[in-house]
Structure 1
Amino acid sequence: METPTIKGVLGMLMASLDDDNDNEKRVISLGMGDPTAFSCFRTTSVAEDAVVDTLVSHKFNGYSPTVGHPQTRSAICEYLSNNLPYKLSPDDVYITAGCTQAIEVAVSILASPNANILIPRPGFPIYELVAAFRNVEVRHFDLLPDNGWEVDLDAVDALADQNTVAIVVINPGNPCGNVYSYHHLKKIAETAKKHKIVVIADEVYGHLAFGSNPFVPMGVFGSMVPVLTLGSLSKRWIVPGWRLGWFVTTDPNAIFKNAKTIERLKKYFDICGAPATFIQAAVPQIIKETSEVFFTRTLSILKHASDVCYKKIKDIPCLTCPTKPQGSMVVMVKLNVSLMKDIKDDIDFCFKLAKEESIILLPGVTVGLKNWVRITFAAEPSFLDEALERVKSFCYRHSYQQKGLLVHD
């Protein structure tokens, strides 16, 4: 059975609400990682003004180079180089239609007969979908919930073989809300070097870290092992609909960047094209003029929301959050179905929750963990509080024991 897609499952959950005319509660979705659904999350006026400026200039209505507009590549090169011990070149940067296309490029460019790729569980299912299209075998390694969702490096050692081409590292984490330490990222790089594989560093939530670990880009270890850095404006600037992402070869020793690979990359971009030119052209102004106050405010809101979420979950029977979120916008929560009298699994839980309480959560099976759920905490505090209160009522109603008697696992 194929793993269901996030959008597919959320669509079915929303459709189930349409069939229920008796439930008049407002729908609150904590399933999709789109912060723009809530008014407390809004991009900076600098970004909006930059796009308007490039659009009305009439200078960017034509095609851009398929690898991206030169000024866009240069701006992202400078932006990423600020956090690295070496300087990238604009030629290392390729502009993509969001991070999803960057994922497609990364997997496709590494595809070869009998190739396999190591993917985290839980993880982001787009990797599996792209790998299936490219006939690349997927091998899952576990993330350890009781250890801050760190990579099980022993499992990586056991899975890797001569046909392994890459390991995927998502940091800050989706769907777990983890942020890896410098020490752990170094261990991952050392493991990748040992197996002579590339690291695909999915950093779409880059810099959205508000816990004890600061965000460390995987490219810091590019001198040790080739790193393909994937990112976008979508989360940090709160503009997911703009579809402006990047694929970057952080490989100062040119281990990965041989002439054949670079030529293949350029040909691939000739096929898939680049995002809207006027959005690309706005990137230098967006990066240069966005103030730290905007970023600090976003982190403050996310931290407060994650604190509310973690605290509320502690009071909900049948749900356990093993690790407090440290970054991104999502968190994984364990569902103890043995404490519930009429809930079969996480999918059953989420569909009945939607029907009875008009609350949308993502079943964990969608991201690789059965009987878990993913909660997006990037929401208005009042909405988040109300949603989790309804989840609490639902859990009490479906538990074997009455409120006040059930022992929280």
Structure 2
Amino acid sequence: MEFRQSSKLTGVCYEIRGPVVEQANALEAAGHSILRLNIGNPAPFGFAAPDAVLAGLIARLPQAHGYTDARGITSARQAVAEYYADRGFQGLDERSVYLGNGVSELAGMAIQALVDTGDEVLIPSPDYPLWTAVTRFAGGVPVHYLCDEAAGWQPDLADLEAKITARTKAIVVINPNNPTGAVYSPEVLRQIAELARRHGLMVFSDEIYERIVYDGATHHHFAALAPDLVCLTFGGLSKSHRIAGFRAGWLIVSGPRPAAANYLEGLTMLAGMRLCPNALAQHVIEAALTDNTIDELVRPGGRLEAQRTTAWQTLNELPGVSCVKPQGGLYAFPRIDPDVHRIKDDERFVLDLLLREKIHIVQGTGFNWPQPDHVRIVTLPEAGDMEVAIRRIGRFLDSYQQ
């Protein structure tokens, strides 16, 4: 008897860990060294967890043996609520906070609790593909609104408004954006809020990169600008504190709770079904929220800033390649001019690059960008290694044909 995957998985994809990854794994198993520029995992590139986080982890080991509250330990939820109250959120307490095994788990829970079959969720294009995947898995319909490369990858508000229908339930905002590195202006966020207000939509604001911004850019919290809207804000420690493997994330519910009371019952039920988040990771949250070591990495001349700048400059030196300067995050999303390089299948391109150069990047269509003319490159290697890798990609492009 043959066992087939569930029909619920039809159309669900996550190319960051998709088929090309399997080829990369096979090459490593055969003895090749692969430069993994496909996933924002700081640890392999020499980024260490902050000392304060590790000390907090060790100190709390004796208390981390049992289940916690389904939403997370109260002290950590209180710390998260206070952190965001200091940043302009209104009416928060520990009941406003759900802890999770990273933002990925919480995004799935948040969508599952809201979406019925056929409901639509507005998601940016390009997007972090998890949002599209969990919407499809919930039986919903992801509807992608375009972000404008010519405007620094800010959302195209006219396109967003045109795609709102009677089935639309929520708008996803990813700010700072993965994969483009855009940091959204307060004006754009207020206009998105007005659309959500006018059409009665929930907002999911993915702000995992809020502390990784460059060149004096300022991150603005959506919920602080629109306190009258039901907004779920997602954050965590994976990137800012370089502990992706700890899986320490949270979501904050803000706005008029009575309007979301029934929804929150469902969200709390889903939180209970997983029993609780990882108890050990929860115990590092209080210490982590007072750790500011990320500031040294993103300041001018800091390691993350230097790597981002090197990647952006080197990409723009390649013939037929252009890249908007990322203002936040850990990625670059360059455009490969189709009139110069004539790439028709970007997944085939990244696979061919992997096979020849042993460099692993992700195709732009994997982020639900409609044309095969972009790729995403992780900017975590040291600046010198970053430049060498991008020049190798450039040499590959010079001789590549499809």
TM-score w.r.t. length of structure 1: 0.89
AA of the residue aligned to 1:363 = Q
Q: Which residue of 2 aligns with 1:11?
A: 21
- Does 2:158 align with 1:154? yes
Q: Which runs of 5+ in 2 are unaligned?
A: 1-9
Say which SS state the counterpart of residue 176 (structure 1) adopts. coil
Q: 1:256 to 1:209 in 2, by over 3 A?
A: farther
Residue in structure 2 matching 1:46, options 49, 52, 69: 52
Q: Distance in 2 between matches of 1:219 and 1:61?
A: 35
Say which SS state the counterpart of residue 214 (structure 1) adopts. coil
AA of the residue aligned to 1:308 = T
Q: Which residue of 1 aligns with 2:113?
A: 109
Q: Which of 111-120 and 4-13 deviates more?
A: 4-13
Q: Which residue of 2 aligns with 1:215?
A: 219
Q: 1:202 to 1:85 in 2, by over 3 A?
A: closer
- Aligned partners of 1:167 and 1:200 also within 8 Å: yes
- Aligned partners of 2:71 and 2:277 also within 8 Å: no
AA of the residue aligned to 2:360 = I
Q: Which residue of 1 aligns with 2:364?
A: 364
Deviation of 1:399 after TM superposition, in Å, equals: 7.0
Q: Distance in 2 between matches of 1:359 and 1:373?
A: 13
- Aligned partners of 2:205 and 2:234 also within 8 Å: yes
Deviation of 1:357 after TM superposition, in Å, equals: 1.3
- Does 2:91 align with 1:90? no
Q: Which residue of 2 aligns with 1:405?
A: none
Q: Distance in 1 between matches of 2:64 and 2:59?
A: 10
Residue in structure 1 matching 2:36, options 18, 29, 32: 29
Q: 1:64 to 1:16 in 2, by over 3 A?
A: closer
AA of the residue aligned to 1:140 = H
Say which SS state the counterpart of residue 118 (structure 1) adopts. strand
Q: Distance in 1 between matches of 2:303 and 2:212?
A: 11
Say which SS state the counterpart of residue 69 (structure 2) adopts. coil
Q: Distance in 1 between matches of 2:57 and 2:284?
A: 5
Q: Which residue of 2 aligns with 1:380?
A: 382
Q: Which residue of 2 aligns with 1:172?
A: 176
Q: Distance in 2 between matches of 1:301 and 1:391?
A: 22
AA of the residue aligned to 2:39 = M
Deviation of 1:254 after TM superposition, in Å, equals: 2.8
TM-score w.r.t. length of structure 2: 0.91
Q: Which residue of 2 aligns with 1:345?
A: 345
Deviation of 1:18 after TM superposition, in Å, equals: 4.9
Deviation of 1:132 after TM superposition, in Å, equals: 1.7
- Does 2:257 align with 1:254? yes
Q: Distance in 2 between matches of 1:172 and 1:54?
A: 32
Deviation of 1:255 after TM superposition, in Å, equals: 5.5
Q: Distance in 2 between matches of 1:377 and 1:207?
A: 16
Q: Distance in 2 between matches of 1:42 and 1:250?
A: 33
Q: 1:211 to 1:189 in 2, by over 3 A?
A: farther
Give runs of ≥4 in structure 1 deviating > 4 Å: 18-21
- Aligned partners of 1:33 and 1:378 also within 8 Å: yes
Q: Distance in 2 between matches of 1:13 and 1:144?
A: 33
Q: Which residue of 2 aligns with 1:197?
A: 201
Q: Distance in 2 between matches of 1:20 and 1:103?
A: 36
Q: Deviations over 1:183-241 (max 9, x none)?
A: 21111111111111011000111221113430111111242322111111111111111
Say which SS state the counterpart of residue 213 (structure 1) adopts. coil
Q: Which residue of 2 aligns with 1:312?
A: 314
Q: Which residue of 2 aligns with 1:270?
A: 272
- Aligned partners of 1:108 and 1:134 also within 8 Å: yes
Deviation of 1:397 after TM superposition, in Å, equals: 2.5
Q: Distance in 2 between matches of 1:351 and 1:74?
A: 46
Q: Which of 360-369 and 217-226 deviates more?
A: 217-226
Q: Distance in 1 between matches of 2:367 and 2:346?
A: 12
Deviation of 1:139 after TM superposition, in Å, equals: 0.9
- Aligned partners of 1:179 and 1:213 also within 8 Å: yes
Q: Which residue of 1 aligns with 2:398?
A: 396
Deviation of 1:16 after TM superposition, in Å, equals: 6.0
- Does 2:234 align with 1:230? yes
Q: Which residue of 1 aligns with 2:143?
A: 139
Aligned length: 387
AA of the residue aligned to 1:45 = D
Q: 1:16 to 1:319 in 2, by over 3 A?
A: farther
Q: Which residue of 1 aligns with 2:5?
A: none
1:288-307 matched pairs, under 5 angstroms:
288=290, 290=291, 292=292, 294-299=293-298, 300-307=302-309
Q: Which residue of 2 aligns with 1:72?
A: 76
Quote the sequence identity (%).
25
Deviation of 1:157 after TM superposition, in Å, equals: 1.4
AA of the residue aligned to 2:333 = M
- Aligned partners of 2:117 and 2:138 also within 8 Å: no
